Structure 1
Amino acid sequence: MEPSIGDPGNGEPGAGGPASAATPAAPGSSPWRHQAGLLGAAFAVAAAVIAAGLRFAPQVSAYAGLNPWVFAGLLGFVLVLAGACVLFAASLPTSPSSGHAHDENRMPAGRGLTILGAVLGLVGLGLAALAVLLAVVLPAPTQRIMVQFTDLYGRVQLEYCPTLPGSFEATASQADLVGSSTILPVKVSGETCGDPEYTDGVWIYLNRDSVTVSDRP
């Protein structure tokens, strides 16, 4: 009797033959890769927002070193960007080492990269939030400057410091120095003001048109 078509003895696939085994999962179908891609895109957008915030932040050159909130923002940007890169790498499809479906469980690299990228991104976002908090809490940066009156009439009209010299050293806010207001607040010492009772110094408000301001020599 000739063997039937479905007889495993003739080496052809049949209903009960080896071909009925489960088909291996297609590369790239892991849910970890899908999650990694979504998180990577979200962190990439967050990194762009942080970079824009740092780019358009007020100038902080008045500090002797790097401003604490700028340092936290830069570190946060680097970590968020690194997390996005790791997550994009985890989202790339990889070819399994063999045709068995359980090879995915033996290759946890995608899962590990997803977790690593998520941790880096979350830490970076935390540092960015800390940078915003420090920018609000920390005092505004100030700078030591030299002020010289170009209008002596403006000098003698000062209420608290009538004997203020025509040229003196003062402290001013960085924001006020780069601003466009007609009034420039500056802080001078009691000795400069001519009244030693101002032990902590005194703020005086000058007409910007009546003075010239330069960096302290």
Structure 2
Amino acid sequence: MGEELKLLGVWGSPYSRRVEIALKLKGVKYEYSEEDIFHNKSASLLKYNPVHKKVPVLVHNGKPIVESQVILEYIDETWKDNPILPRDPYERAMARFWAKFVDEKCAPALWKSLMGAGPEREKAHEEAHELLNTLEGELKGKKFFGGESVGFVDIMANFVGYWVGVLEEAVGVDVLTEDKFPVLCKWAEEFRNCPVIKENLPPRDRMVAYFRDQRETITTFYKNKA
């Protein structure tokens, strides 16, 4: 197909990187446009995502698709090679369930546990441990959530696989430790070392420095869900 594919994203965003990883796994070519979502949202971003005004936005032949989970499913349905979702309907439903669990439960609790303060952080720390225990149980006996290769849930869990470690280093808090979560830690290492993933993760040193510098701005941004 003679196609025009453009991704509006942010270099350090796990949500943007999900989409990049999926496109790379599929071997799909695209144009990337870096956004400044904190200080200067582009006219394109406001045009293509007027509801949330957030990244990522995938623009396919002039038509925008938003929300990273929705975009991943769209990519999988549009480019059939190298599927990231299981083809079996039940397994696909389960993958969607775990993706939602990671996105709506684990990521917010981990974020508060690492970036929060006072009682909010302590409460989130306990919640994060409970949720990570659930993920640990789901992963037992498997290399990746989908089996032997990186799939939909692994991509959706990229925040757990990479960003949590970066944030731990930036703020000096331990949440995902090998003694408590050996299976998850092994998965995270396998995930980061998968060639396509490794090539598409933001540089760790730059990320750590960024979170240290911008901690207040980023925390306020996510609290306001801008």
TMscore range, shorter length: under 0.3
Name the structure with the higher helix share.
2
Give TM-score, length-normalised by structure 1: 0.24
Give TM-score, length-normalised by structure 2: 0.23
